[in-house]
Amino acid sequence: MDPELRDLLIFYGYRALWAIGVAIAAFILARLVRRGTVRLLERRRAHSNAVVLLGNVGQLASLTIGALIILAIFTGPNFGAILTSFSILGLVIGLSLQDILKNFFAGVWILVERPFRIGDTIQVDVHTGAVEQIAFRTTMLRTPDGRQVVLPNNTLMTMPVVNHTAYPVRRGEVWVVLSDDATPADVVGTVRAALADVSVIAPDPVPRVELRGVDQGHTRFLVTFWAPDRDQAIPEAIAALRARLPKAEVHGA
């Protein structure tokens, strides 16, 4: 073997080994930094989105430092060469990983703007579920039937997102159908008394009872109320109304 070629292989071989070692160490350090940051912020009861964001930023910073060290191994201590190499590498990565970078910046936007947070129930297109994890590239939802949905963050930034738990209470609706001889004033009093016994229904705003029409000898009333957990409140409201109005037809809206 040519001596110059052998020396060149040895020169870059040692550096390649060092680079591999640094890469492994950087990945391990990045995971440790992320876990440590998350634990520290959770102990201080920081906002869940801030915990995720700062944990991911710490992880990214560790990986970036590792990448700079690897470039320095091959280019030497010349800062200009390192910066140029890093810029070229960033350009190549940016062109080849456009979709991943879109999701990355969308993830940062979600964590900063906080349109929803971990634990919220959101709806995106046909998917509805509780937010379990917000990562840099994806957001994971747990559906009511126990499935996991992984959505690209860019989708969440470009599509309408309905946050079902953004406010402390949500409106519930129930229909009450009675014979046409029912007196509206009596119905209103009976309905409000029945709903007052349902602990999950908020007393304020006061439940409303609206006369919505008479059809074939039956009077229809729409009952609206507010509750922190509408899915629990509606069945309990129906049961309470049926107990107070046994002759009425009561069902969800």
Q: How far apart are CA 151 and CA 94, in angstroms?
A: 21
Mention the CATH class of domain 113-163.
Answer: mainly beta
**88 band by pLDDT with thresholds 50, 70 and 90:** low
Mean pLDDT of the chain: 81
Q: What is the mean pLDDT of residues 116-143?
A: 90
Mark 201-232 as b/e (b = at least 16 C-beta within 10 Å): beeeeebbbeeeeeeeeebebebebbbeebee
- State the CB neighbour count (10 A cutoff) for residue 157: 17
For the cut 70, the answer to whether the pLDDT of residue 7 exceeds it is no
pLDDT of 223 over the 70 cut: yes
pLDDT in the model for residue 93: 59
Q: How confident is the model at residue 208 (pLDDT cuts 50, 70, 90)?
A: very high
Most confident option among 62-66, 93-97, 131-135: 131-135
Predicted confidence at residue 46, as pLDDT, reads 56
| Stretch 194-199: mean pLDDT | 91
In terms of pLDDT, which residue wins out, 135 or 121? 121
- Label residue 103 exposed, middle or buried (CB < 10 Å: 0-12, 13-18, 19+): buried
Task: Give residues with Cβ within 8 angstroms of 217, minimum separation 6.
Answer: 179, 180
**What pLDDT was estimated at residue 13?**
72
Architecture field, domain 170-252: 2-Layer Sandwich (3.30)
Residue 133: its pLDDT value, please?
A: 87
CATH code linked to domain 3-96: 1.10.287
For residue range 151-173, what is the model confidence (pLDDT) as tens digits? Answer: 999 899 889 999 988 888 889 99
Q: How would residue 45 be classed by pLDDT, with cut points 50, 70 and 90?
A: low
Confidence of residue 129 (pLDDT cuts 50, 70, 90): very high
125: alpha, beta or left, given left = phi > 0 and alpha = psi -120 to 50? left
Most confident stretch, 24-28, 95-99, 140-144:
140-144
Using the predicted structure, report yes or no on whether residue 81 has a pLDDT greater than 60.
no
Mean pLDDT of 216-226: 89
Residue whose C-alpha is closest to residue 227's, from 200, 192, 191, 198: 200
Cis-peptide into 205, omega within 30 deg = yes
Q: How confident is the model at residue 110 (pLDDT cuts 50, 70, 90)?
A: confident
Question: Would you state the pLDDT for residue 23?
Answer: 82
User: Is residue 53 very low, low, confident or very high in pLDDT (cuts 50, 70, 90)?
Assistant: low
Domain boundaries, the chain: 3-96, 113-163, 170-252
pLDDT at position 236 is: 93
How do residues 167-191 score in pLDDT, each as one tens digit? 888 899 999 998 867 788 888 899 9
pLDDT cut 70: percent of the chain above it: 79
Long-range (24+ apart) CB contacts under 8 A made by 184-188 are: 184/209, 184/211, 184/219, 184/221, 187/219, 187/221, 187/245
Is residue 196 classed as helix, strand or coil in its secondary structure? helix
